[in-house]
Structure 1
Amino acid sequence: MKQILFATSEAVPFIKTGGLADVAGSLPKYFDKEKYDVRVMLPKYMCMKEEWRDQLEYVTHFYMDLNWRTEYVGILKMEYEGITFYFIDNEYYFSGWAPYGEVFGDVEKFAFFSKAVLSALPVIEFRPDIIHCHDWQTGLIPVYLDNFRYGNEYYRGIKTIMTIHNLKFQGTWEVNRIQNITGLPPYYFTSDKLEAYGDANYLKGGIVYADKVTTVSNTYAEEIKTPFYGERLDGLMNARANCLTGIVNGIDYGDFNPETDKYIFKNYTVSNFRKEKIKNKTALQEELGLEQNPKTMLIGIVSRLTDQKGFDLIAHVMDEMCQDSVQFAVLGTGEERYENMFRHFAWKYPGKVSANIYYSEPVSHKIYAGCDAFLMPSLFEPCGLSQLMSLRYGTVPIVRETGGLKDTVEPYNEFEKTGTGFSFSNYNAHEMLGTVRYAQSIYYDKKRDWNKIVERGMQKDFSWKNSAKQYEELYDNL
């Protein structure tokens, strides 16, 4: 029986700000229980919902040295859907209104968390064979582990995996300050270890010291070896290329299932979507104040409204797209200029554009189920989950060929009658516009082909089962 510990700064259902929480909370359920005992450790945030906080049971507590100060470490636990979750408690560090705050506070908070994870192992009597670290917040775990191995037999032989969910976020601060916070010897703060461009870099430390490095899609694993996507760590990614693998994230097929989804207007399956899916569309048009017409092509967007997601492309040609026979249903929040851009077009084209500048889980499901196509022209996308959800609901993705989008959406080929969506390769607004218009022409003029694209997309399997198998192989190879 292999023992695996996930170390993460967030996990569903307890705390979530992004896709990392879905991975850390959902993936452990899908491992073969006979062969792998997978448990999860995360901070006990005060901003967690009370219903979860009340269910945690106290395990023990101890005091830990963090350089020149002594810190309280409480350990609580809870079993959820067959998985044991441990929570590291310290009110000084985890009492904020949100899991993350200012970077100068976060680097200290997650140095404490990283050391506490390792210090807690002997007391909870769970000695993992592998610690699976997620993103920069846990980047110091492989570094501390290296440090703990000197003179402490217990930690020898524990392996680590570092998973990069988004290379953009690295956890960097001044070397002196980080040395003072962590208590790590100066030996670790050289350019071949933690130091990068004059600062200490948590993610870099994790990548240097981990036994294996993974990222959340094959294409992204290749992209981050180039200067454009490498966020100044491309040299390091090339140096570690032999230990680097890409494994695409999945989605929870229980939560995202058009057959049983309680949020959508009308349930449907791959066998009856031709008749039933459209009922979701007309109900959505009514709810969002769009002109009700089952024949008009409806394009959905559910996203953080940021540069990374390609909204500058959309801003550039939105007026042109609105001249066509299409409607837009937009849901999300983000940069003010993009929020206002969509509000402007909703005002300029009433009945054609619906701008919902907030986030709501039920509305997102209605958009995945009710739209004909889903637009996602990202500048970079380590994995992306929205395109997986839209495939699951038979909503045809229109994406840019980058990262996980390239790995999961197969472009339509009208001659071979293959593909599950539409894609374009250059980061160019008119190339995107051309692809959207090509999708329209198939939707309006070749309805049978369009329905076949929908069907192939719905038959794909992007559940966690797939990802779990690949992670199991990785664990076995270690």
Structure 2
Amino acid sequence: MKNILFASSECVPFIKTGGLADVVGSLPKYFNKKKYDTRVVLPKYSCMKQEWKEKLEYVDHFYMDIAGQNQYVGILKYVYDKITFYFIDNEHYFSGFAPYDGDPKWNIEKFAFFSKAVLSILPVIGFRPDLIHCNDWQTGLIPVYLDNFRYMGEYYRGIKTTITIHNLKFQGVWDTKTVREITGLPEYYFVPDKMEAYRDANLLKGGIVYADKVTTVSQTYAEEIKTPFFGEGLDGLMSARSNDLCGIVNGLDYEEYAPFSDNKIAKKFTVDTFRKNKAANKLALQEELGLNKDAHVMMIGIVSRLTDQKGFDLIDYVMDELCQDAVQIVALGTGEVKYENMFRHFAWKYAGKVSANIYYSDELSHKIYASCDAFLMPSLFEPCGLSQLMSLRYGTLPIVRETGGLKDTVEPYNEYEKTGTGFSFANYNAHEMLNTIRYAEHIFYDKKRDWNKIVERAMMKDFSWKNSARQYEELYKSLLGE
């Protein structure tokens, strides 16, 4: 039996700001329980819901040096879904209104404390991991501290680490002098071949340099980040570590996203009943959102943060042209004001055709996946992406740009070979996107049989966590010499 410890700054159902929380909340459940004892460690944030805080059980506490001070480290635990979760308690660091504060220096100090505490609690909780699985820059110091701790005694020698990059854009960067003072690490860690990048200290870089293996959340993104455009200044390092770098696509929680058992949608359906029941969902959604009621019109869904990264400048550029077509567009999400207002404007200009829902609702997102015919996701870059996996699951065909996880999970339709699960375009170009949408419209209206076959193939795809967990197990095996 091997011990695996996941370290993360967020995790469902306890605390969530993004996709990282879904990954850490889902993946540990799917490992082979006979081979792996998998546990998770998180900060105990004051902004967690009271219902969770009340369930935590006190384990122990001690004091630890960080940023020149002796800080309290409380340990609490809770078993949820057969997985043991540890929570590191410290009011000084974790009492904010959100997991990440606006002040980057404070965030760096907070997660330096967390990283050092993760290693310091191990002898106290009586769980010595064979491998610590770190996630993003917030845990980037764990492999660095582990390297430093190895000199302090036998206990920490031989513990392996892997770090998963969920989005390379966020790296945890601050000036070297301050980071040295905060971490208390010796000077030799702050040089260009270790933690220093462009004269600053970079926590993610430290994790990448010192981890035994580096993973990211799709095969294509693993290749892309070796290039200057996607590499965010670390492309040279990613190339240097390419032998230890691999991409494993995130999975989707197939219990929560299941069209045949989803209570949030108007009419449940399977791969055998979608022809009739998807139309019933569409009519219910049109009614709810005040769109023209028509089961035969092609409905395109968008559920996203409204930001440049997600390709909304392309949509903005051709939205007027697109609205001339026989389509309805349903958008859900918040983000940059210019894109929020763009959707509001078109919902006013094309009332009955465009619905702008500038907020977030889990329930409405399920209805959009279940009701729409196509799902638009023209990202500039996309490490993995979960929305396209949800839309495939609900038989809503993704129209995506070929980047990162979108390229790995959506197979473009080939009308000659009768293969594919969606539609895609290669260049970041608004009219290339529009042409691809119009090609999808042509198949939808003129080749309905072919369209339905694509939907069947999309719904049959397996992007569940089981699949991803097997690949992580292979990675662990290679590291732990099983």
Secondary structure at the counterpart of residue 399 of structure 1 = strand
Q: Which residue of 2 aligns with 1:227?
A: 228
Amino acid of the residue matched to residue 63 of structure 1? Answer: Y
Question: Residues 70-149 of structure 1 correspond to what in structure 2 (within 5 A)?
Answer: 70-101=70-101, 102-149=103-150
Distance 1:69 1:95 in 2: 18
Q: Which residue of 2 aligns with 1:321?
A: 322
Name stretches of at least 5 consecutive residues in structure 1 with no aligned partner. none
Question: Residues 285-364 of structure 1 correspond to what in structure 2 (within 5 A)?
Answer: 285-364=286-365
Say if 2:473 is the partner of 1:457.
no
Distance 2:388 2:476 in 1: 28
Cα deviation, residue 334, structure 1: 0.5
Say if 2:32 is the partner of 1:20.
no
Cα deviation, residue 198, structure 1: 1.2
Amino acid of the residue matched to residue 320 of structure 1? Answer: E
Cα deviation, residue 66, structure 1: 1.2
Cα deviation, residue 65, structure 1: 1.1
Distance 1:335 1:120 in 2: 41
Amino acid of the residue matched to residue 358 of structure 1? Answer: Y
Deviations 1:234-262 (CA, angstroms, capped at 9, x unpaired): 00000000000000000100000001111
Deviations 1:59-93 (CA, angstroms, capped at 9, x unpaired): 11110111521000001111111101110000110
Q: Which residue of 2 aligns with 1:181?
A: 182
Amino acid of the residue matched to residue 58 of structure 1? Answer: Y
Distance 2:273 2:297 in 1: 20
Distance 1:80 1:450 in 2: 42
Distance 1:293 1:285 in 2: 8
Distance 2:360 2:403 in 1: 25
Cα deviation, residue 151, structure 1: 2.6
Secondary structure at the counterpart of residue 400 of structure 2 = strand
Amino acid of the residue matched to residue 96 of structure 2? Answer: G
Question: Residues 45-444 of structure 1 correspond to what in structure 2 (within 5 A)?
Answer: 45-101=45-101, 102-444=103-445
Q: Which residue of 2 aligns with 1:44?
A: 44
Secondary structure at the counterpart of residue 229 of structure 2 = coil
Distance 1:446 1:379 in 2: 30
Deviations 1:364-406 (CA, angstroms, capped at 9, x unpaired): 0000001000000000000000000000000000000000000
Distance 1:98 1:284 in 2: 33
Q: Which 4+ runs in 1 deviate beyond 3 A?
A: none
Cα deviation, residue 227, structure 1: 0.3
Amino acid of the residue matched to residue 309 of structure 2? Answer: Q
Distance 2:184 2:243 in 1: 31
Cα deviation, residue 275, structure 1: 1.3
Distance 2:138 2:375 in 1: 32
Distance 2:204 2:170 in 1: 8
Amino acid of the residue matched to residue 55 of structure 2? Answer: Q
Q: CA RMSD in A?
A: 0.5
Distance 1:67 1:423 in 2: 49
Cα deviation, residue 436, structure 1: 0.2
Aligned partners of 2:6 and 2:134 also within 8 Å: yes
Q: Which residue of 1 aligns with 2:6?
A: 6
Deviations 1:328-366 (CA, angstroms, capped at 9, x unpaired): 110000011111110111011000110000001000000
Aligned partners of 2:283 and 2:294 also within 8 Å: yes
Secondary structure at the counterpart of residue 46 of structure 2 = coil
Distance 2:425 2:70 in 1: 55
Deviations 1:430-451 (CA, angstroms, capped at 9, x unpaired): 0000000000000000000000
Distance 1:255 1:319 in 2: 35
Distance 1:279 1:311 in 2: 29
Distance 1:285 1:145 in 2: 55
Distance 1:365 1:103 in 2: 34
TM-score, with length taken from structure 1: 1.00
Secondary structure at the counterpart of residue 161 of structure 1 = strand
Amino acid of the residue matched to residue 402 of structure 1? Answer: T
Amino acid of the residue matched to residue 214 of structure 1? Answer: T
Amino acid of the residue matched to residue 401 of structure 2? Answer: R
Q: Count the aligned residue pairs.
A: 478
Secondary structure at the counterpart of residue 58 of structure 2 = strand
Secondary structure at the counterpart of residue 228 of structure 1 = helix
Cα deviation, residue 278, structure 1: 1.0
Percent of pairs with identical residues: 76
Distance 1:67 1:121 in 2: 21
Cα deviation, residue 104, structure 1: 1.3
Distance 2:400 2:243 in 1: 29
Aligned partners of 2:67 and 2:109 also within 8 Å: no
Secondary structure at the counterpart of residue 413 of structure 1 = coil
TM-score, with length taken from structure 2: 0.99
Secondary structure at the counterpart of residue 232 of structure 2 = coil
Distance 1:447 1:164 in 2: 40
Distance 1:438 1:5 in 2: 47
Name stretches of at least 5 consecutive residues in structure 2 with no aligned partner. none
Distance 1:286 1:200 in 2: 54
Distance 1:51 1:71 in 2: 27
Amino acid of the residue matched to residue 16 of structure 2? Answer: K
Distance 1:464 1:126 in 2: 25
